[in-house]
Amino acid sequence: MNEQEMLLLASKSLAAVSPSHQLKLEVPQPNSKGQLGDDRVVLILGEQRYPFTVQVKRHVNVAGAVHLANSMKDESGPPPLLLTTYVQPAVAEALQMRGVNYTDLAGNCHIVHPPLFLHIEGRKRTTSNKKTYIRAFKGEGLKVIFVLLLLPQWVTRSYRDVADLSGVSHGVVQYTIKDLEQLGYIIRKGRTKRSLENLPGLLDRWVRAYTEHLRPKQSMGLFRFMPADRASNWKHLPLEPMHEHWGGESAAALLTGYLKPAQLTLYTHDTRPGVMKRLHIVPDEAGTVEIIRTFWTTRFEEACATCFLKKTVPPLLAYADLITSGDPRNAEVAALLREKIEEAPHD
């Protein structure tokens, strides 16, 4: 669990402790590693806003509490707030004696910033803040998250509907939704209503996991054209409608017009022999054409028809490909695609 996810879970726990007071933490956006790019948080109590400088420490003992108290005395700016996994009673006492504001993932807190005074104790360590195995970002769950990022309104649909659209089992959807709830990306409202929260953070987490876990499994390898001059005519290659889409640099070139692709990426439903024969390409470890097997369903393409424009994959996936490349040339156009993603309507 990264720093931002800890803050989201802490905010969720505080809100659950006192729902009538509308208590929550406003969480900053993380960097690419899930670390906080800005250590400022805002504690919101009703209509009042109280800024703090957060320090994240996963585990704190009594000795650590003494050290923290000394190190936090000279902080400038907003008063410091310690966030940790769980505050044992002895540690809580040591922190309070030394005037350290703190909160944990169970909802225990001691925060004094006049006129604000919050003190909650006795909340037990729960399953949600013990170390648990998160499966949503390891395999099939990434297909579900991909669908939800592009069609957020589907988070309210039944598990069976989401499973059919994602091409996964009912069980995969069930544990993926549960994991996203635990991490604070899905908020349950009542028994049946759900909403997606922190879409930028979920997008970043998905991109990292897709790059590491799903994309390598879907790749068919690198290829080159025969003859080589076919590469210059890549925009006019006979792609299978609704079954093949440009990704990566090629998608970025079509969507933004700001990049001349050095590497072509094509997502296809076709088999490896089929696409090789049709596009006249041959395997080559140094090739400039990467073929990737699509991981979404035809039904999803129909439900999200506006996601697939100009023969490209959705900007979200093209963005993930550019981030995967690690090529500095792609940084600027990746930023442009990120803007398109965040500006897209999510009705």
Structural domains of the chain in order of their starting residue, each with its CATH number: 3-129 (no CATH), 141-197 (1.10.10), 214-343 (no CATH)
**In sequence order, what are the residues at sequence separation of 6 or more whose Cβ sits closer than 8 angstroms to the Cβ of residue 259?**
249, 252, 253, 329, 330, 333
Determine if the peptide bond prior to 89 is cis (ω within 30°).
Answer: no
CA distance 219 to 224: 15
Strand partners for 323: none
Burial 67-97 (b: 16+ CB within 10 A, else e): ebbeebeeeeebbbbbbbbbbbeebbebbbe
- Answer whether 0.75 is exceeded by the pTM: no
pLDDT tens figures, 224-280:
999 999 999 999 998 988 889 999 999 999 999 988 999 999 999 999 999 999 999
CA distance readout (Å), 304 to 147, 163, 268: 9, 15, 17
Which residues of the chain carry a pLDDT beneath 50? Answer: none
CA distance 172 to 141: 6
